[in-house]
Amino acid sequence: MAHLKEIQIPENSPRRIGVVESSACDKTRKVAIRYQVRHPKYGKFIRRKTVLAVHDEGNVSKVGDSVEIAECRPISRTKSWVVIRVVGEGTASRKS
């Protein structure tokens, strides 16, 4: 799939930082973006997360890594985000 080499990311595209939850598929990662919202009636803060399918061309991220992702054109039916860089290494055990 040579057309994936020239993925253009606009400068003003939305960017997020999340944690890789799954790396089962080749060149695809499941990234969780965690946030808190206030309950409208009771005022308690509730933890929520959004899980996105993200394109990782070089398979550089592993489970547990913090990654910066950016929105791009649709790559497949579920993927419209791409990994920009690995921000921090995860604490998950790795094979050497």
What's the confidence (pLDDT) of residue 5?
A: 64
Q: d(Cα 11, Cα 22) in Å, to the nearest integer?
A: 27
Q: Using the structure block, give the residue that is written with the tokens 């649709």.
A: 74
Contact 55, 26 (CB under 8 A): no
Domains and their CATH numbers in the chain: 13-88 (2.40.50.140)
What's the confidence (pLDDT) of residue 96?
A: 43
Q: Taking CA 79 as the corner, what is the angle to CA 78 and CA 84, rounded to the nearest 5 degrees?
A: 160
Q: Which helix (H) or strand (E) holds 33?
A: strand 28-38
What's the confidence (pLDDT) of residue 93?
A: 53
Task: Give per-residue pLDDT as tens, 32-84.
Answer: 999 999 999 999 999 999 999 999 999 999 999 999 999 999 999 999 999 99
The torsion of the CA quartet 33, 71, 68, 14, rounded to 10 degrees, works out to: -80
Give 68 or 92, the one with higher predicted confidence.
68
